[in-house]
Amino acid sequence: MIDLKPRGAALRYSHAVLGLAVLHQLVGSEWMAKPWRFKDASAWQIQLFELHEWTGLAASLLLLVLLWSLWRRYGADSLGRFLPWLGGAGRGALGGELRGLLGGLPRLQAPDASQTRVLAAAVEGLGLLTLLFFAATGTAMWLLEDDLELMHEIGEVHEWGALPLKLYLAGHAGMALVHEWRGEGLLRRMFRGA
Ligand code: HEM
Ligand code: HEM
């Protein structure tokens, strides 16, 4: 067991604002104009794209702050914690939790958060990788705005992240709400640092 530092303001605020920014990106991208189709778009759709672009760049910086804060909290254990499937011990712990989860299914018994710590961190790791993917492809599009053809090609790759992102938010934020409803206080600890 490592002696964990409490969650500092940088971790809590970057996580909260990043969560809001990502929700904004998901919703706004449904209506925004694509730069390679600006001539068919209305003024407000173009403005929505500009908002997506600048919020996306800000979210990419917030992601770096979140990663740096997680590194400060977990140090050299960060990789094993968030990517447990990379090592044998992590895969074993993950398998054990998944078996416990499946075992509870026939009795419709959901485990409490302390029984799925490895799984929760593994899911968070996949969420961080998904956002890194959006940040990298989004920043590349911003840098290549003068070459619309190349930008369009990267845009198609950028879109691959949409389904993983929706699944991640449903799983991670959804379970956070379930645990909160059951009185485990995860939301309070994460957002208020209580
Ligand atoms: C972390 C940052 C970002 C996130 C989470 C994000 C998220 C998204 C999402 C969810 C979509 C919709 C995909 C779909 O419905 O299939 C999208 C589309 C798009 N985003 Fe981002 N985005 C980010 C950064 C950026 C940046 C910086 C730019 C700068 C140019 C950008 C440009 C675009 C474009 C052009 C599309 C349309 C792609 C297409 O239709 O081919 N994004 N983004
Ligand atoms: C895409 C956006 C998000 C990312 C990348 C993300 C990532 C993370 C990460 C890496 C952690 C672990 C923090 C730590 O170990 O100190 C975490 C914890 C947490 N997140 Fe998120 N998160 C996002 C959105 C959300 C949203 C929208 C909610 C709320 C509904 C939420 C609720 C929580 C809670 C309650 C915890 C604490 C879990 C615990 O104590 O075990 N997250 N998140």
Q: Which ligand is nearest to the CA of 52?
A: 1
pLDDT > 90? residue 104: no
Contacts 24+ apart (CB under 8 A), 15-20: 15/66, 15/190, 16/191, 17/62, 18/59, 18/62, 18/63, 18/66, 18/131, 19/173
* Cα–Cα distance for residue pair 61/21, rounded to 1 Å: 11
Measure 3 CA to ligand 1 centroid, in angstroms.
38
Per the CB < 8 A criterion, the answer to whether 158 and 131 are in contact is no
- pLDDT above 70 as % of the chain: 98
Average pLDDT, stretch 149-170? 98
Distance 96 CA to ligand 1 centre (A): 37
pLDDT at res. 36: 96
Tell me, using a 6 A CB cutoff, whether residue 52 lines ligand 2.
no
Query: Across the chain, what does the average pLDDT equal?
Result: 94
Tell me: pLDDT of 1 over 50. no
Residue 159 has a CB neighbour count (10 Å cut-off) of 12
Q: From the CA of 159, how far away is ligand 1's center (Å)?
A: 7
pLDDT tens track for 51-69: 999 999 999 999 999 999 9
Cα-based distances in Å from 84 to 42, 45, 70: 46, 41, 15
Please tell me the total number of residues recorded for the chain in this structure. Answer: 194
Distance 138 CA to ligand 1 centre (A): 6
Closest ligand 1 atom number to CA of residue 141: 30
Nearest bound ligand to the CA of residue 67: 2
- Residues 106-122: what's their mean pLDDT? 87
